[in-house]
């Protein structure tokens, strides 16, 4: 029987950063490309289209950072409140908290005697960490980090938004619209496929759903730009 090193690759650890990175980059491409396509459809000049794209990049990146910071800060506040409450309960009701930890391990499949031993040893090492992990579901690796989340979201959005702006720089004039649409959809398909592959889902499904929604967003924005552009020009 051949023996070798057994390596397991689980994908759940990618969930947090992957969600933030994909969401930020996807929003950066879609929102900026839609804005640029709408401006081109409205008949705006090259300078106005470029300015709108740059404004969309800065405004969108700041919006993503602010939204992510507020959201994750709320999560961090809730985690701190739970940990502080748990710290007080461990101080005031140590026996009750110990029985609670033992009960958790019994429900997970341990024999009562073994659960008692595990709870005792873990509590002796770090009681708060044991309760945070096994009772509250809070671990150091998954703790909420508002500033990190804000910077990551802003950077991902800006990286995505640069793409349609670069196309506008390379293809000025009315011809920029189709080029921005085509290049953006191709990159979005690749982004969706990569995210699906990393997450263990079918690549074609991830690419298709991103392209479908993004194409709809650009088409609708182009229609609005065409309608309002004609109305203003008239």
Is the pLDDT reported for residue 57 higher than 90? yes
Please tell me which residue, 5 or 46, carries the higher pLDDT value. 46
Q: Three-state SS for 139?
A: coil
Report pLDDT digits (tens) over 198-221. 667 788 887 888 888 888 888 888
pLDDT for the residue numbered 77? 85
Q: Of how many residues is the chain composed?
A: 234
The b/e string for 15-52 (b: 16+ C-beta within 10 A; e otherwise) is eeeeebbbbbbbbbbbbbbbbbbbbbbbebebeebbeb
Computed over every residue of the chain, the mean pLDDT equals 81
Positive or negative: CA dihedral 44, 48, 49, 55: negative
The mean-pLDDT minimum among 18-22, 29-33, 123-127 falls in 18-22
Which is nearest to 157 in space by CA: 17, 32, 52, 14?
32
Rounded-to-integer distance, Cα 126 and Cα 124, Å: 6
Residue recorded with tokens 């793409």: 163
* Average pLDDT of the residues in 144-159: 85
**Domain residues of the chain, as ranges?**
23-88+149-227
* Average pLDDT of the residues in 174-189: 87
83 pLDDT tier (thresholds 50, 70, 90): confident
């Amino acid at each position: 029987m051949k023996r070798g090193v057994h390596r397991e690759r689980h994908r759940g650890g990618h969930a947090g950063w992957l969600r933030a990175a994909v969401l930020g980059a996807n929003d950066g491409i879609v929102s900026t490309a839609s804005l640029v396509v709408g401006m081109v459809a409205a008949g705006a000049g090259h300078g106005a289209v470029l300015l709108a794209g740059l404004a969309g990049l800065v405004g969108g990146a700041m919006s993503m950072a602010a939204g992510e910071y507020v959201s994750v800060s709320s999560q961090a506040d809730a985690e701190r409140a739970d940990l502080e409450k748990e710290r007080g309960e461990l101080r005031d009701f140590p026996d009750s908290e110990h029985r609670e930890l033992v009960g958790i391990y019994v429900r997970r499949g341990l024999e009562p005697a073994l659960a008692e031993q595990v709870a005792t040893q873990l509590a002796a090492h770090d009681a708060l960490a044991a309760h945070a992990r096994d009772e509250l579901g809070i671990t150091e690796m998954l703790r909420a980090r508002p500033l990190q989340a804000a910077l990551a979201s802003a950077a991902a959005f800006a990286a995505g938004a640069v793409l349609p702006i670069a196309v506008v720089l390379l293809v000025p004039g009315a011809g920029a619209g189709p080029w921005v649409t085509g290049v953006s959809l191709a990159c979005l398909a690749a982004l969706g496929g990569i995210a699906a592959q990393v997450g263990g889902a079918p690549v074609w499904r991830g690419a298709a759903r991103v392209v479908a929604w993004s194409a709809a967003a650009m088409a609708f924005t182009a229609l609005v730009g065409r309608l309002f552009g004609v109305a203003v020009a008239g």
